[in-house]
Structure 1
Amino acid sequence: MHRSPKILAAAVLAAATVLVVAPTTAEAASVKVEAESYAAQSGVQVEATADSGGGQNAAYLAEGDWMRYDGVNLGAAGTLTVQARVASAVGGGRVELHTGSATGPLLTQFAIAATGGWQSWTTLTATTASHPTGAQTVFAVLRNTAAGDFVNINWFSFGDGSPADSGPGWIPIDQAAWNAQLAQFNSLTPKAVPAGTVRVPEFNATCAYSHSRPDDPIVFPGMPGASHMHSFLGNDRTDANTTTSTLLANAGTSCRPAPDLSAYWIPSLYQGDQVIEPKDVVVYYGSRLTDPAATKPFPQGFRMIAGDAKLQTPTPAGSVNAFYCAGPGGEIGRSADGNWPICASTAVLMFHLVFQDCWDGKHLDSPTHKAHVAYSYDGTCKGDYPVAIPNLSFLIAYPTSGSAAGFRLASGMASSMHGDAFFAWDNLAQSQRVKNCLVQRAKCNTEGNF
Structure 2
Amino acid sequence: MARRSQLISGALIAGALLLTSLGVSGVATGAPSAAPVSAASLFEAAHSVHMMATSTTSSPEDPDGDGYIPANPPVTGVTPSTQDPPHRYFHEFQANCAVSHTEPDDPIVYPQQPGKSHDHTFMGNTTTNAFSTTASLDAGTTTCKAPGDKSGYWMPTLFNGDKPVLPIGPQTIYYKAGVTDYTSVRPFPKGLRFVVGDPMQSADEFRHHPGFVEGWECGDSYFNVDFPASCPTRADVQLNIRFQAPSCWDGKYLDTPDHKSHMAYPVVKPGTNDNVCPADHPVALPMIEFKMAFPVNGDLSQVRLASGRGYSFHYDFFNAWDDATLKALVDHCVVGGLQCDARGYDQTHPEAGAALDENYQLP
Q: TM-score range by the shorter chain?
A: 0.5 to 0.7
Q: In structure 2, which of residues 142, 152, 162 is the aligned counterpart of residue 253 of structure 1?
A: 142
SS class of match (2:327): helix
Amino acid at match of 2:334: L
Q: In structure 1, which of residues 419, 434, 442 is the aligned counterpart of residue 315 of structure 2?
A: 419
SS class of match (2:326): helix
RMSD: 3.3
Distance 1:440 1:21, change over 3 A: farther
Matched residues, percent identical?
A: 36
Distance 1:318 1:418, change over 3 A: closer
1:325 is matched with: 217
Measure how far apart 1:325 and its partner are.
3.0
CA distance in 1, matches of 2:207, 2:150: 37
Distance 1:316 1:237, change over 3 A: closer
Distance 1:236 1:330, change over 3 A: same
Question: Is residue 444 from structure 1 mapped to residue 333 from structure 2 by the alignment?
Answer: no
Please state which structure has a larger fraction of its residues in strand.
1
TM-score by length of 2: 0.67
SS class of match (1:289): coil
Q: How many residues align?
A: 270
CA distance in 1, matches of 2:206, 2:70: 40
Question: Is residue 356 from structure 1 mapped to residue 246 from structure 2 by the alignment?
Answer: yes
Measure how far apart 1:353 and its partner are.
1.6
Amino acid at match of 1:426: D
Amino acid at match of 1:262: S
Paired residues for 1:265-414 under 5 Å = 265-279=154-168, 280-313=170-203, 323-326=215-218, 329-331=219-221, 339-344=227-232, 345=234, 346-378=236-268, 379-414=275-310
TM-score by length of 1: 0.55
* Structure with more contact order per residue of length (Cα contacts < 8 Å, sep ≥ 6): 2
Measure how far apart 1:406 and its partner are.
4.0
8 Å contact from structure 1 (residues 354, 391) kept in 2: yes
Measure how far apart 1:338 and its partner are.
6.8
Amino acid at match of 2:216: Y
1:93 is matched with: none
CA distance in 2, matches of 1:404, 1:425: 36
In structure 2, runs of 5+ residues without a counterpart are 7-50, 55-63, 79-87, 269-274, 347-363
Paired residues for 1:155-234 under 5 Å = 168-175=66-73, 199-234=89-124
CA distance in 1, matches of 2:205, 2:299: 16
8 Å contact from structure 1 (residues 212, 231) kept in 2: yes
8 Å contact from structure 1 (residues 215, 230) kept in 2: yes
Please state which structure has a larger fraction of its residues in helix.
2
8 Å contact from structure 2 (residues 221, 228) kept in 1: no
8 Å contact from structure 1 (residues 21, 71) kept in 2: no
2:125 is matched with: 235
Amino acid at match of 2:231: C
CA distance in 2, matches of 1:368, 1:214: 19
Distance 1:395 1:404, change over 3 A: closer
Distance 1:289 1:390, change over 3 A: same
1:79 is matched with: none
The structure with the larger Rg is 1
1:55 is matched with: none
Measure how far apart 1:439 and its partner are.
1.1
8 Å contact from structure 1 (residues 205, 446) kept in 2: yes
In structure 1, runs of 5+ residues without a counterpart are 1-17, 24-68, 73-165, 183-197
CA distance in 1, matches of 2:97, 2:301: 29
